[in-house]
Amino acid sequence: MERWTLREFEAAARERLDPAHYDYFAGGAGDEITVRANEAAFARLGLLPRVLRGAAKLQTGVTLLGSRAAMPVLVAPTAFHRLADPEGERATARAAAAAETIMIVSMASTVAVGDVAAAAPGAELWFQLYLQPDESFTETVVRRAEAAGCRALVVTADSPVHGRRERDLRNGFLDLPEHLCCENMRDGDRVRPIVMSPELSWRHLDRLREMTSLPIVVKGVAHPEDARIALDHGISAIMVSNHGGRQLDTVPAAVDLLPDIVAAVGGAVPVLLDGGVRRGTDVLKALALGAAAVAVGRPVIWGLAAGGERGVASVLALLRAEVEQALTLCGCACLADLDAGMVRRPC
């Protein structure tokens, strides 16, 4: 069946997935106020198109930290892809490579990052990291990501503890089924749990900076002051994110956080955003407000569950086609033609 919108992919995924797994992917923390806000905030913003600008030749490519993407839509790091498809992250990476975009491999992937890279030659991979209180194990994981050819590390900073995911509590979904595990966490003949620790601080990030020459992106920045502090710690990019509403509930929508963070960063490093991006027009709004690119989390999972590698490829192709069409309708030839004056905030 042909699917015309991301919503149709979600409906197909929901039909195929174990209901507890669907809830894990779809759900968020607490009352899921932030989950809903992320999408609703995009819907509330309007786009003001420009006309008759002779913008014939479209250009949607971006270069981020030395990695090239054919469109400003990246694959956000999401855990447990083998719950959605037996090929899991291998399938996602192949589809990202075919779409010529960057996949941020989760530390909680169910295929080891080296195997993901091997399955998708030519894929541009970044690696998402939860800094571990045991820094020698953090280093082990960093070396795995480097050896796999990942071109940046994305440190998730919004998770000093796990969010309160009430769907998971109700469903008793607390761990992966026995045949799956977080493959990057192997340590000899055991698999370590991913530790979330409130003790982590910028000092840990400084030590990561000394550990690797890869560019470091801080993911999960919501407060402009933290964006400023990140710059003092030699960060290469900032990712505005509320973790898709899965950590602290009632954090404002990601796109509503964006302008203040862009202002705080003042162009020093690229600002990325994820949370609630479901349409090409959402991508344009984020870029017009100063994001260098966006990332999508759940839409990729819906594609994977609905149709494996082909499903993810279709989701990414759909987003690219929507970006191109919306850009043309906005009278823009390239992403740099977008500016904040083209976004109408609600009165």
Q: Is 110 in the site for ligand FMN (CB under 6 A)?
A: no
Q: Is 81 in the site for ligand COI (CB under 6 A)?
A: no
- Near ligand FMN by CB under 6 A: residue from 38, 110, 132, 281: 38
Phi, psi of 339 (to 5 degrees): -145, 165
Residue 124: burial class (beta carbons within 10 Å; 0-12, 13-18, 19+) = buried
Q: Is 152 in the site for ligand FMN (CB under 6 A)?
A: no
Q: Is 241 in the site for ligand FMN (CB under 6 A)?
A: yes
Q: Would you call 74 helix, strand, or coil by DSSP?
A: strand
Q: Which does 72 bind (CB under 5 to 8 A by kind): ligand COI, ligand FMN, none?
A: none
Nearest to 4 by CA among 324, 317, 309, 325: 317
Part of the chain binding ligand FMN (CB under 6 A), chosen from 60-68, 85-93, 295-303, 339-347: 295-303
Q: Which does 152 bind (CB under 5 to 8 A by kind): ligand COI, ligand FMN, none?
A: none
Q: Which of residues 164-203 bind ligand FMN (CB under 6 A)?
A: none
CB 279 within 8 A of CB 42: yes
Part of the chain binding ligand FMN (CB under 6 A), chosen from 92-100, 229-237, 238-246, 284-292: 238-246
Q: Would you call 221 helix, strand, or coil by DSSP?
A: strand
Q: Which of residues 230-289 bind ligand COI (CB under 6 A)?
A: 243, 246
CB of 327 to ligand COI, least distance (A): 31
Name the H helices within 27-104. Answer: 33-44, 89-98
β-pairing, 190-191 vs 186-187, is antiparallel
Q: Which does 127 bind (CB under 5 to 8 A by kind): ligand FMN, ligand COI, none?
A: none
- The kind and range of the H/E element at 301 are helix 298-329
Q: Which does 194 bind (CB under 5 to 8 A by kind): ligand FMN, ligand COI, none?
A: ligand COI
The yes-or-no answer on residue 233 being catalytic is no
Nearest to 70 by CA among 323, 326, 329: 323
Per residue in 173-208, is it b (16+ CB within 10 Å) or e — as a string?
beebeeeebbbbbeeeeeebebebeeebebebbeeb
β-pairing, 153-156 vs 216-221, is parallel
Residues annotated within the binding site for glyoxylate are 24, 165, 243, 246
Residues at the interface with ligand COI (CB under 6 A): 79, 108, 194, 243, 246
Binding residues for ligand FMN (CB under 6 A): 25, 38, 76-79, 106, 108, 128, 156, 219, 241, 243-244, 246, 274-277, 296-298, 301
Show which residues are catalytic: 243
